[in-house]
Chain A
């Protein structure tokens, strides 16, 4: 039998392979993170240091840029706004994606094809031209300078709908047939079988929509007025970053500091969620096979 020998050989190869894989992973990880590291170094550097050559690669632990950046905008308020806007958008998006993905992936109804093409066409329109018509619409609806205008227009995602649809399409026909045989209602099916099955898709959508919401800049700047002092601003955190650039120059170290502390929460968010993501994906895989 060649089996045992082969597997021993593989074990030997895989030990070396494991190390190679780890070294490679560390190098790649470092390459991806390096721009952030450098940003942190700049943010902790002395004045004029960001423009030194060769580049300064170790921080000087000068926190003055941080304190200047911290006082330049009501970050906590902006942070709260962002969390509120992003969470509401995620919830709305999950609901609309789940329902529409279910409709397009499972249900059969007249006009399904047409509607899914309509939804698909949404992806193909360049967003930049829509901003001004949307502004006029928002003005007519009295939605300017509100949280709503930052939530509702982003509360449906073509990407999300089609991801959910795809999960439903790859679902074994037996499950659907069995449920149909069982006389399950649509909503019951969706609740007890559908949601658990598409959970990984929902996690991906949640991450993506949350980040999209977190990172949006042009939209809130146009749809809301910058009013950093008055404590009742509805603007998100990214708008705060714009307070470092002007027509006459840019406060690079201040910007670097602000980028660092506005990015940290997202980092933590992903650290927490990525486990859930993998676990969700695994359990769904288990569900498909079982």
Chain B
């Protein structure tokens, strides 16, 4: 506080002779964009320009192999979104939101709990940290293959475990009602390692003094967590929620590997539908329109989140 006051006084004071001009604040500069240029250039070439192209293509019945054969459709592809029945657009949107909601709530809660459990520990907890992180370090393409064996109806490991514990077994990926939960279980297994590490990083930066003060004040462990730890972890949580929400909306590989969007479209998310139309069916224009809609949905949720973040200046996304 005092430093800031002094600084503003210094800035207001006449220039000292040994410096060039007044104490220039290095933060204000016209060249700021140059610092972001390397990243922006990469994005421009490989994401933004192709995205613009996607917007353009979404207005056509596009023949990717021979663009001269393309036919202009205007908003025809978007109209088709609403007319589609197998699957309907709204069901795909719902599956995207279902998956994203489950991942955000489940993933954040589980990784925060794991981080609290595993913080400041000896070799044993250290080992568990590695164990929890390990799935994230392995390719989705390989591990989802392992999980299709685990989820195998009747003789997979998951059913075997439930059976041994005398719990009701599930059809897992084979039934429309349990397929999405199965994909969520796999995705949580794969993803929480990373968010746990992020939370561990956040926890490591917490102020010990505040916690001690809370304990001296006679706060219970829960009160201490709620009033001290959780409050300080807020920026980290915001980050975890935002990153989980966006990666979940875009998630694709596990849907492809585990369930192929089925059974009967039960795991067909918008992101999977984009793949299905653009790649498998070569309906490039329609797939592009879907991609644009998915883009809009992501932007919409980001805006809603920002609005509801009650002026949190650390809000990331």
Chain A residues within 8 Å of B, Cβ to Cβ: 2-3, 6, 21-22, 24-26, 28-30, 32-33, 35-36, 38-39, 50-51, 53-55, 95-97, 99-100, 102-104, 106-112, 115-116, 118-130, 132-134, 137, 152-153, 155-156, 158-159, 161-163, 165-166, 169-170, 173-174, 176-181, 183-186, 189, 200, 204, 207-208, 211, 214-215, 217-218, 238, 241-242, 245, 250, 252, 255-256, 259, 262-263, 266-267, 269-271, 274, 277-278, 281-282, 284-285, 288-289
Most buried by A among B48, B134, B291, B317: B134
Q: A181-B23, A214-B139, A278-B200 are in contact. List 13 more A-B contacts (CB 8 A).
A: A28-B114, A36-B134, A100-B36, A115-B40, A122-B47, A125-B291, A125-B295, A129-B54, A129-B287, A186-B26, A200-B201, A217-B253, A285-B206
**Docked complex Cα distance between A271 and B127 (Å):** 9
User: Shortest beta-carbon distance, B163 to chain A, in Å?
Assistant: 9
Say whether B252 faces chain A, with CB atoms less than 8 Å apart. yes
Among B27, B47, B198, residue most surrounded by chain A Cβ atoms (within 10 Å): B47
A155 vs B141: C-alpha distance when bound (angstroms): 22
Seen from chain B, the residues whose Cβ lies within 8 Å of a Cβ on chain A are 1, 3-4, 6-7, 10, 19, 23-33, 35-36, 38-40, 42-43, 45-51, 53-54, 64, 114, 117-118, 121, 124-143, 145-147, 149-150, 154-155, 157, 160, 189, 193-194, 197-198, 200-201, 204-207, 216, 218, 235, 239, 243, 246, 250, 252-253, 270-271, 274-275, 278-279, 287-288, 291, 294-295, 298-299, 302, 313-314, 316-317
> Are A129 and B278 within 8 A (Cβ)?
yes
CA A211 – CA B191 in complex, angstroms? 12
Chain A residues contacting B29 (CB-CB under 8 Å) are 107-109, 186
The 4 closest A-B pairs by CB, nearest first: A109-B32, A29-B128, A29-B131, A103-B35
A204 proximity list for chain B (CB < 8 A): 197-198, 201
Residues in A whose Cβ lies below 8 Å from that of B157: 38, 55
Bound form: Cα–Cα A4–B277 in Å: 68
Which listed residue (B141, B154, B287, B298) contacts A124, Cβ 8 A? B298
Between-chain CB contacts (< 8 Å), 18 pairs: A28-B131, A29-B131, A53-B155, A99-B38, A100-B39, A103-B32, A108-B27, A119-B36, A119-B40, A122-B43, A129-B288, A170-B235, A173-B4, A174-B3, A204-B198, A256-B146, A266-B137, A274-B130
- Across the interface, which residues of A come within 8 angstroms of B146, CB to CB? 35, 38-39, 256, 259
List the A side residues contacting B23 at CB < 8 Å. Answer: 180-181, 183
Contact A108 B32, CB 8 Å, known A25-B128, A28-B132: yes
Shortest Cβ distance from B141 into A: residue? A217
- With a CB–CB cut-off of 8 A, which chain A residues contact B189? 32, 35
Chain A minimum-CB-distance residue to B42: A156
Q: Within 8 Å CB of B252, what residues of A?
A: 126-128
CB distance from A114 to the nearest CB of B (A): 10
Q: Which residue of A lies closest to B1 (CB)?
A: A174
In the bound complex, CA of A277 to CA of B193 (Å):
14
Closest to B128 in A: A29
Nearest chain B CB to A133 CB, angstrom units:
4
| Closest A residue, CB atoms, query B154 | A53
Partner of B137, one of A6, A119, A180, A263: A263
**Cβ-defined contact, B316 with A166, below 8 A:** yes
On whether the beta carbons of B35 and A107 are closer than 8 Å, the reply is: yes
For B135, the chain A residues whose CB sits under 8 A away are 32, 35
> Distance in Å from the Cβ of B81 to the closest Cβ of chain A?
15
Main secondary structure of the interface of A (DSSP, over half): helix
Asked if A95 and B32 make an inter-chain contact with CB atoms under 8 angstroms apart, the answer reads no
B205 close to A281 (CB less than 8 A): yes
Residue numbers in A under 8 Å from B132 (CB-CB): 28-29, 32
C-alpha spacing A215/B144, complex, angstroms? 13
Minimal beta-carbon separation of B150 from chain A (angstroms): 6
A179 to B131, CA, bound (A): 42
Q: Is B134 touching A174 in the complex (CB atoms < 8 A)?
A: no
- A150 to B: closest C-beta gap in Å: 12
Bound-state CA distance A254–B194 (Å) is 28
Tell whether, in the assembled complex, residue A109 and residue B30 are in contact, meaning their CB atoms are under 8 Å apart.
yes
Q: Which residue of A lies closest to B236 (CB)?
A: A166
Complexed CA–CA distance, A16 and B36 (Å):
52
Q: Judging by beta carbons under 8 Å apart, are B54 and A130 in contact? A: yes
B26 touches A180 (CB 8 A): yes
Given A25-B124, A155-B42, residue A281 in contact with residue B246 (CB < 8 A): no
Query: Chain A residues with Cβ under 8 A from B125's Cβ?
Result: 21-22, 25
Question: Which chain A residues lie closer than 8 Å to B19 at the CB level?
Answer: 183
Q: How far, in whole Å, are A120 and B39 apart by their CA atoms in the complex?
A: 12
Residues of B within 8 A of A169 (CB): 313-314
